[in-house]
Amino acid sequence: TALLEIRDLHASVGDTPILKGINLTINAGEIHAIMGPNGSGKSTMSYVLSGRNGYEVTSGDVLMNGVSMLEMEPDERARAGMFLAFQYPVELPGVGGMSFLRAAVNARRIEAGEDEVDQLEFVKMVRAKAKILGINDEMLKRAVNVGFSGGEKKRYEILQMALLEPMMAVLDETDSGLDVDALKIVSEGVNLLRDPARSMLVITHYQRLLDYIVPDYVHILAGGKIRKSGDKSLALEVEEQGYAGIDDAA
Ligand code: ADP
Ligand code: MG
Ligand code: MG
């Protein structure tokens, strides 16, 4: 069975159909990239996968390890091993970084029938992973995402991912707002999480990210449908020719 299978997925926001029949199969260990012009439905797809309110699946199915996720609440999907790094991470005023991260990790461990993490061990582990992502102690002490720059929020999302070790990670425009140095740091963090048992869906508008996070497959989304699929060379093709050549007539 595929780790993630999207079958003829149609979804609407309000009364507006946005996704118009997405088919995608991701096997364990694979990295797939979704590219597409602004407004093509990339973020909608990540919200639908996460189960966000207001994103209604009108037909089709999404299966993780052969089990439909559509009836699952967002937190159930997360516990089942799905992780989403959003294009616009939310700020959590009053929620300290360390306790937020510990609560997330403990929730996962309790679900798996394991003991809660040891406090000191946890702090050590967070610091080690944070260091790779250029996140210092001061940032870890602050409230989650409050006053973080765009790049800091993205790095913090990857830190959460590194601690939760999800089976399926969806990264929505993790490159937006990053300069080249920050992009390299974030990509290094992502690449450290590559694993034969873990799959990733990397959503981006730009080819540049895929120089650092090299995908196995690239899909072009336009007008709510995947118009073209290929290997990493497809991303370079799009970079050269733009999205104009992609047929987005339904
Ligand atoms: P992308 O991430 O590829 O830029 P989005 O998924 O954000 O695209 O948007 C796809 C389409 O859905 C756009 O036409 C956008 O205007 C529309 N859309 C997205 N979110 C909403 C919303 N909450 N209400 C109405 N329309 C929306
Ligand atoms: Mg957009
Ligand atoms: Mg988007």
pLDDT, tens only, 1-16: 899 999 999 999 999 9
User: Would you mind telling me the total number of residues written for the chain in this entry?
Assistant: 250
Residue 27 dihedral angles phi and psi, to the nearest 5°? -90, 160
Euclidean distance between CA atoms 108 and 158, whole angstroms? 17
The residue whose CA has the least distance to atom 24 of ligand 1 is 13
Q: Which tens digits make up the pLDDT trace of 116-169? A: 999 999 999 999 999 999 899 999 989 988 988 888 888 999 999 999 999 999
Instruction: Please enumerate in sequence order all residues whose Cβ is within 8 A of that of 246, keeping only pairs 6 or more positions apart, or say none.
Output: 220, 222, 227, 228, 238
* Domain 4-241 -> CATH class: alpha beta
What does the pLDDT read at residue 43? 95
Question: Distance, CA 44 to ligand 2 centroid (Å)?
Answer: 9
40 lines ligand 1 (CB under 6 A): yes
CB-neighbour burial class of residue 80 (10 A; exposed 0-12, middle 13-18, buried 19+) = middle
Task: Inform me whether the pLDDT recorded for 191 exceeds 70.
Answer: yes
Closest C-alpha among 151, 30, 18 to residue 89: 151
Question: Distance, CA 165 to ligand 3 centroid (Å)?
Answer: 24
The residue whose CA has the least distance to atom 15 of ligand 1 is 39
Ligand lying closest to the C-alpha of residue 39:
1
Q: Which tens digits make up the pLDDT trace of 68-81? A: 999 999 888 988 89
Chain mean position to CA 62: 16
Question: Distance, CA 173 to ligand 3 centroid (Å)?
Answer: 7
From the CA of 54, give the closest atom in ligand 1.
23
Whether the complex's predicted ipTM is more than 0.90 is answered with yes
41 lines ligand 1 (CB under 6 A): yes
223 lines ligand 1 (CB under 6 A): no
Considering the chain, what is the average pLDDT of its residues? 92
227 versus 108: which is more confidently predicted? 227
Runs of H (alpha helix) within 65-179 = 74-79, 97-111, 119-132, 137-141, 150-164
What does the pLDDT read at residue 91? 85
Beta 92-96 vs 82-85: how paired, if at all? Answer: unpaired
Euclidean distance between CA atoms 149 and 145, whole angstroms? 8
CA angle (154, 177, 47) in 5-degree steps: 60
44 lines ligand 1 (CB under 6 A): yes
What does the pLDDT read at residue 250? 43
Q: Partners of 35 in the beta sheet? A: 204, 220
Task: Inform me whether the pLDDT recorded for 248 exceeds 60.
Answer: no
For residues 177-199, give the mean pLDDT: 91
78 lines ligand 1 (CB under 6 A): no
